[in-house]
Amino acid sequence: MAAPAQPDEPGGVRLALNWLHTWFGLLSCLLLLVIFWTGTLAVFDWEIDRWMKPATRFTAPTEMSIDAFRPVAEASAPGAEFWQVQFATDRAPAEFYAQLNDGAHFYRTIGPDGLTLLPDQGTYGGTQFFYPYHFTLNIGFANIGLILCAFAGIMMMVLCVSGVIIHRRIFADFFTFRKSQKSQRSVLDLHNLTGVLALPFHFVISLSGVALFSAMYLPTAQEAVFASDPTAFDQNYFSRPAAGEAGQNSASLDVMAEEAARRWDGVWPGHLRIYYPGDANSYVEARWPLHGSLAARYHSIWFDAATGDVIAAPQPSAASAGYAVLWGLHVVQFDHLTIRWLYFLSGLAGCVLIATGLLFWSQSRRKRHAKTGKKGAEIVAVIAIGGTTGLILATLAFLISNRLLPLDMEGRATLETWCFHAVWLAAFAHAGVRRGAAWREQWIAIAIGGVVAVALNAVTTGDAIPVAIARGQWGVAGIDIMLLLGSFLAIAAAWRMRSSQVRTREGHAKKFLPAEKS
């Protein structure tokens, strides 16, 4: 059932929605590919951090004294608006974060003794590159990235619903995969299979993704609801301005953390944040941790920094608990390795779904467009290559540059992101020049890149896979293993493309094939 030229053509609702699915799918595909790929990587963002910041690869003690750490914090971020200590978890050591007066951020990992800051690791890593890329595209200007990502989320839901409606044999096709000589059929089967198999995931992840920033996207609705009670919007968050004069912040921070844990039936806070340190109005927020439960609750207790008394401890309502589940389902900060891997695999299924949709669009129009001289199919084929293998190559370039650039280099973190985007752009250019052959060449480049990244990790940090496992660094070893597995799959893909090209061109293909890259 091909899409009609216009939704108004006779054939009923299914054909009209097929038009919607086809063209709005095409419109949002590249954006969706980027969001799904970076989101899939962000599932393991702390592990990527460990890989990219070798000095932070240690098993951190979960307990530390913030009172003992306080002089270090105040010496390294003097006059900060606030500073916070994020306590160590199974996935990450303790982190220090300060917002300085000039608006600049200051991030450091806290050493295993709980009293030192490790030197700057010169990278944004998983938590500051892939994770924000997933919902802002790292475009801060006028929230353009955030708005584009929200629109992509709505599009994903629209595509899910319209895809199900236009699909006649949804149950039968669930069990259908025709590994056919005709790759167009395989591509469509794979599109249907990944779409149906992970449909609940795709829908809920898109809805929760958009829902997380609802207040930002619905300013007029917020205005209407809070018209006569505007300050009520901050009901659950305590804040007060700085007094502007120095004060005694002598109350023990450790006691505050213990008091929070006592009120939370033994749950230790995720982080402690000290606002306006040294000011007479200074106060401390102990935040509920994210890793202990499915629900990602915004739940805090506030203390006066001078006396240590509790200022505010709002009880979360049932409604906000429900919202927290939606949030928790999206940000996967809870400790559950099996579910984490299922998120990773579902995310990859989403990438395959979007990429096969794009491929099908291009393949089914290739002959017709070639005949009529239209460029559409060729352009979309280039986008498909750049958006899939190109994006994987860019990711590998990000990892490889991280292991090659010297640690003390000025602007190192930014340079890594430049490597990512330069390689990505180059992959698009390569696809534009080499056309069909680019698939195979980029798969080969991915295979090489994966092995290079693993080798560089072993050489520059000494953490070859067996060593990392022996040291208990499963996150680092896991990334290396996935890179090698990816290399193997990339070689398999490249090999299959070669053999299918040879088959379809009945043996005359060899002279058209590019020289082997190695």
Residue 19 binds another protein (CB under 8 A): yes
**Strand, helix or coil at 473?**
coil
Question: Quick one: which segment of 18-26, 286-294, 386-394, 416-424 binds another protein (CB under 8 A)?
Answer: 18-26
Q: Which of 472, 441, 478, 442 is nearest to 457 (CA)?
A: 478
Q: Rounded distance, CA 284 to CA 300, Å?
A: 10
Residues 149, 3: Cα–Cα separation, whole Å: 26
345 binds another protein (CB under 8 A): no
Give the one residue of 35, 188, 207, 295 binding another protein; rule: CB under 8 A: 207
1 contacts another protein (rule: CB under 8 A): no
The structure tokens listed for 438 are 């680019």
User: Which of 322, 462, 466, 514 contacts another protein by CB under 8 A?
Assistant: 322
Binding segment toward another protein, per CB under 8 A, in 216-224, 254-262, 357-365, 395-403:
216-224
Map tokens 């090698």 to a residue.
484
Give how far Cα 316 sits from Cα of 202, 288, 300, 417, Å.
29, 11, 9, 39
Helix (H) or strand (E) holding 301: strand 300-304
162-191 positions binding another protein, by CB under 8 A: 162, 165
Tokens at 216, concatenated: 């930002």
Find the part of the chain contacting another protein (CB under 8 A) among 37-45, 157-165, 252-260, 340-348: 157-165
- Residue 6 makes contact with another protein by CB under 8 A: yes
Distance CA 191, CA 187 (A): 6
- Give the C-alpha separation, 289 to 286, whole Å: 9
229-268: which residues touch another protein (CB under 8 A)? 229, 231-238
Residue whose CB is less far from another protein, 233 or 341? 233
- 3-class SS shares of the chain: helix, strand, coil, % to 5: 60, 5, 30
User: Least distance in Å: CB of 309 to another protein?
Assistant: 16
Part in contact with another protein (CB under 8 A); list of ranges 7-15, 111-119, 261-269, 278-286: 7-15
Give the three-state DSSP class for 212.
coil
With CB under 8 A as the contact rule, the residue among 118, 197, 310, 312 that binds another protein is 312
User: Binding of another protein at residue 376 (CB under 8 A)?
Assistant: no
Among 294, 326, 407, 467, the residue binding another protein under the rule CB under 8 A is 326
Beta-strand pair 300-304/310-312: antiparallel
Stretch that binds another protein, among 153-161, 251-259, 475-483, 503-511 (CB under 8 A): 153-161
Size of the site for another protein (CB under 8 A): 51
Helix (H, G, I), strand (E, B) or coil at 274: strand
- Kindly provide the residue ranges of all beta strands, DSSP E only, lying in 238-282, ordered along the sequence: 271-275
The site for another protein (CB under 8 A) is made up of 5-9, 13, 16-17, 19-20, 24, 153-154, 157-158, 161-162, 165, 207-208, 210-211, 214-215, 217-218, 220-222, 224-229, 231-238, 312, 314, 317, 319-320, 322-323, 326
